[in-house]
């Protein structure tokens, strides 16, 4: 099927990045959120990020202006009803995602493909609660969306071949690379990445190394561009904990038990960059370790 209009639910960090790349690829985008301030902030961020691409010569000024004109913000989820593809990009909590799908379904065309940007939740289970499990799949972008080249495509047990082909064609049009993942907890990237981050937190918790020594060791010893604790702050510690809980609950293996220190940071509201404090304190000019 031909996809030309894309609806995105959630204008936060992931949603505005998805809107950015979709609009640059020529899709008409309807960006939905419950909050006007969040929508305004998303459009401002998209504009800033596109300006950066213009300065680098990656995007022409005319293409930037045309892309921005293709993004329509809306507070009404019903406005996404005419879209050919809808991508849910809300917070990583299954009950919230389910409420979004329940609100969307009465407005969608019969042929609309429904997808989730979830990084860990069962696609089969999400799809089973809709009226179109055969036209539902996981569409997992990496953060930051305009920069990262990979998109995980996760097929639920009922997803049909036409839906998979249509979503793969979208990834190709974005100039990104698709990786097919089976519908098991956390899929591929986070199945491998989150236990590494969790183990780094255990290493800190047990006093094996400091925040700085752990991050420095992985950057210089394993050639990682960011240390695991720095990366956890970038992702959001609440998201890391949520994914570890999905792994622990879904696979029933104690090796996925979230580190108590990670839980403590989340309980304190120290979620990383987005709250100003996590394993580093970002409130000054230079990030400072909090332990």
Name the architecture of domain 191-289: Orthogonal Bundle (1.10)
Return the exposure string of 113-128: e unless at least 16 CB atoms fall within 10 Å of the residue's CB, then b: bbbbbbbbbbbbebbe
Is residue 93 over pLDDT 80? yes
Which residues lie closer than 8 Å to 184 by C-beta, 6 or more apart? 191, 250, 251
The residue extents of the domains of the chain are 5-182, 191-289
Is residue 222 over pLDDT 90? yes
- pLDDT of 253-271, one tens digit each? 999 999 999 999 999 999 9
Of the listed ranges 1-5, 177-181, 226-230, 270-274, the least confidently predicted one is 1-5
Task: Name the average pLDDT for the chain.
Answer: 96
Residue 281 marked ligand-binding: no
Q: What is the DSSP letter of 258?
A: P
- pLDDT of 58-70, one tens digit each? 999 999 999 999 9
**191-289: same fold as 5-182?**
no
- Amino acid 63: pLDDT: 97
Residue 128 marked ligand-binding: no
Is residue 92 over pLDDT 90? no
Residue 149 marked ligand-binding: no
Q: How far apart are CA 228 and CA 219, in angstroms?
A: 9
CA distances from 112 to 13, 135, 152, 183, 211 (A): 24, 7, 20, 21, 46
- pLDDT of 145-197, one tens digit each? 999 999 999 999 999 999 999 999 999 999 999 999 999 999 999 999 999 99
Return the exposure string of 199-219: e unless at least 16 CB atoms fall within 10 Å of the residue's CB, then b: ebbbbbeeeeeebbebbebbe
Q: How far apart are CA 135 and CA 17, in angstroms?
A: 23
| H or E element that contains 233 | helix 228-235
Residues catalogued as catalytic: 119, 140, 152, 190
Residue 276 marked ligand-binding: no
Domain at 5-182: CATH code: 3.40.50.720
**pLDDT category of residue 1 using cuts at 50, 70 and 90:** confident
Residue 13 marked ligand-binding: yes
Is residue 241 over pLDDT 80? yes
Kindly give the interhelix angle for 211-221 and 228-235, rounded to the nearest 10 degrees: 110
Residue 215: both structure tokens together: 């991050």
């Amino acid at each position: 099927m031909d996809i030309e209009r894309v609806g995105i639910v959630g204008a936060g960090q992931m949603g505005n990045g998805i809107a950015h790349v979709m609009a640059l690829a020529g899709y008409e985008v309807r960006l939905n959120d419950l909050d006007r301030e969040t929508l305004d902030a998303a459009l401002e961020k998209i504009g800033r990020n596109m300006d950066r691409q213009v300065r680098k010569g990656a995007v022409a000024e005319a293409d930037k202006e045309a892309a921005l004109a293709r993004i329509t913000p809306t507070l009404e989820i019903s406005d996404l009803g005419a879209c050919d593809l809808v991508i849910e990009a809300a917070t990583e909590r299954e009950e919230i995602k389910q409420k979004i799908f329940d609100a969307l379904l009465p407005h969608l065309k019969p042929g609309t493909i429904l997808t989730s940007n979830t990084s860990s939740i069962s696609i089969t289970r999400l799809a089973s609660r809709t009226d179109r499990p055969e036209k539902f799949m996981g569409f997992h972008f990496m953060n930051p969306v305009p920069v990262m080249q990979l998109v995980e495509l996760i097929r639920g047990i009922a997803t049909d071949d036409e839906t998979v082909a249509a979503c793969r064609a979208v990834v190709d049009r974005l100039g990104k690379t698709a990786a097919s993942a089976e519908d098991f907890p956390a899929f591929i990237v986070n199945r491998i990445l989150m236990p590494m981050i969790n183990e780094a937190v255990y290493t800190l918790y047990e006093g094996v190394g400091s925040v700085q020594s752990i991050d420095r060791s992985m950057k210089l010893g394993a050639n990682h561009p960011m240390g695991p604790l720095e990366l956890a702050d970038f992702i959001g510690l609440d998201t890391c904990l949520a994914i570890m809980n999905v792994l622990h609950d879904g696979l029933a293996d104690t090796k996925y038990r979230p580190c108590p220190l990670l839980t403590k940071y989340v309980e304190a509201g120290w979620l990383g960059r987005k709250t100003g404090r996590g394993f580093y304190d970002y409130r000054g000019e230079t990030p400072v370790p909090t332990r």
